[in-house]
Amino acid sequence: MLITEGSVALVTGGASGIGAAVARRLATAGARVAVVDRDAVAAAAVAAEVEGLAIACDVTSEAAMSAAVAEAETWGGRLDLVHLNAGSVGGQSGITDLDTEAYRRVVGVNVDHVVFGLTAAVPALRRAGGGTIIATASLAGLVPLPGDAIYTLTKHAVVGYVRSAAATLAPEGIRAMALCPGFADTALIAHLRDQFAGFPLLDAGDVADAVERMLADGKAGECWYVQPGRDPGPYAFRGVPGPKTGDEPPQLAWEG
């Protein structure tokens, strides 16, 4: 699916960082973009820049996400692309310490929002005859991030959910994929920036480049890594061995 003139897209976390960069890129390609964010003022600023729609939304609320999708579809007359990009860092190990309130908040933003957004978007994409859902995960959805088990938990959940949902949705012409960037120089790591001195970081434009590539070349269920200095591409998951019976060689339960 290429973004074409008149396509309608919704981007959560669209008021800053990766979301804002993606919103700008989609608008440049001719899409009409609904910018969804909890920060109403910042969302309005990006929406004005891209001549789109600003929607203030608590993405952790099922009702709010459903309302945001409905508003975007009504405004645009259809919905072709949903980028579920809003995210939050863990900020705690989740092993030797656990702030339950903070834990629930991170799970709400990183996991609940993706589930609520996807389930709300599917009927709209069906009405459009198909479309694409991209959920922003992280490299921490593919490999463990030492020191932040909670964040790793949520991003592994996004990867697993998208890969499973993709198999269900693909026959309907709805393509679900996950975006797995490495560390990006955005507000999410602003409080840790000193720790990245000398470490190559992505910028938001690098990730927007990857989204553009995914829209052009990505296949249902793929999880695309994005790393500085490398071309983005789908991560190659190993298949899982199935049960062995008798002298027959083990079969793969599924390729994954």
**pLDDT number for residue 253:** 58
Report how far residue 234's alpha carbon sits from residue 237's, in angstroms, rounded to the nearest whole number.
9
Q: pTM of the prediction?
A: 0.91
Chain-centroid distance of CA 60 in Å reads 14
The string of DSSP letters for 98-152 reads --HHHHHHHHIIIIIHHHHHHHHHHHHHHHTT-EEEEEE--GGGTS--TT-HHHH
**pLDDT number for residue 197:** 41
**pLDDT number for residue 184:** 64
Active site residues: 151
Report how far residue 225's alpha carbon sits from residue 188's, in angstroms, rounded to the nearest whole number.
18
pLDDT tens for the chain, residues 1 to 256? 567 788 999 999 999 999 999 999 999 999 999 999 999 999 999 999 999 999 999 999 999 999 999 999 999 999 999 999 999 987 788 898 899 999 999 999 999 999 999 999 999 999 999 999 999 999 999 999 888 899 999 999 999 999 999 999 999 999 999 999 987 655 554 455 455 445 566 789 999 999 999 999 999 999 999 999 899 999 999 888 888 777 766 665 555 5
Alpha helices in 128-256, H assignment, sequence order: 149-169, 204-217
In order of their start, the domains of the chain are 8-254 (3.40.50.720)
For residues 41-62, one letter each, b for 16 or more C-beta atoms within 10 angstroms of the residue's C-beta and e for the rest, the string is: ebbbebbeebebbbbbbebbee
